[in-house]
Every structure is written in structure tokens, then in C-alpha cells.
Homo-oligomer: A and B are copies of this chain.
Amino acid sequence: MGLAKTEMFTDHQNEISLFAKVFGHPARVAILQQLFKIDACYCGDLVNEIGLAQPTISQHLKELKHLGLIKGNVEGTSVCYCIHKENWTAMKTVMFEFLNQDLTQKQDCC
């Protein structure tokens, strides 16, 4: 079908998968790494840095913004993007809890 049956899963499971999904494309990983690296973070800079077309970068930025992980500030004709610190930290809490599930108690059945 191509359609995840989200109603079958908990809100928590859906939240984890939504965060993970946005990291599931190397362009968005590259955008985020660049935003962590530099202070001036204009859309055009990201286009030059990453090498995808402007509409493509703009689309990836939109997804990151939609999840609240970045925010954009209009400065004349430019738009300056940066990490949304509070939301990034909140996302980390969710992802860390998932990734850090206890392995030490597990029997290795295989």
C-alpha cells in the first residue's frame, strides 16, 4: 500500500518513527550537520554546500521545520535557518530512550 498503519501503534512509537524518518535521508543529515557547524546558515549557502537544486533543499528544510527541529528567520530576501535548540533537546530525549534500551539483561537466543 505504501501507507503506514499508524493507528495500530502507540503515539510514542509513531513519534520515534517520525523523528527517525526525517533523519532517514542523507541530504537532511547534511543540512543539520551544516547548521551545527556554521553560524550563518542561509538557504543559499546550503544549496551551494550540498549541491542539490534549490527547490529540493527548500523541500527538505520544510520537513525539518515541520517537525520543529529547525527554525527560519526572514532577513530581507534571505532566510536564515538554525537548529531549534529546545526541540532538538526534547527529540534527543525521545530517541535516546529508544536507543538506550537495556541489553545487559537479555538472553541471547540466537
Measuring CB to CB, which residues of chain A are less than 8 angstroms from any residue of chain B? Answer: 4-6, 8-10, 13-14, 16-18, 20-30, 32-33, 36, 39-41, 50-52, 71-73, 80-83, 85, 88-89, 91-92, 95-96, 98-103, 106-110
Contacts and interface: CB of A to CB of B under 8 A. Distances in A.
A1 to B, nearest CB: 10
Contact of A36 (B6, B17, B83, B102): B102
Protomer copies: 2
A68 B2 CA distance: 24
A25 B98 CA distance: 14
B36 A13 contact: no
Given A36-B106, A73-B110, A103-B85, A24 B29 contact: no
B50 A27 contact: no
Given A16-B29, A52-B5, A99 B96 contact: yes
B20 A23 contact: yes
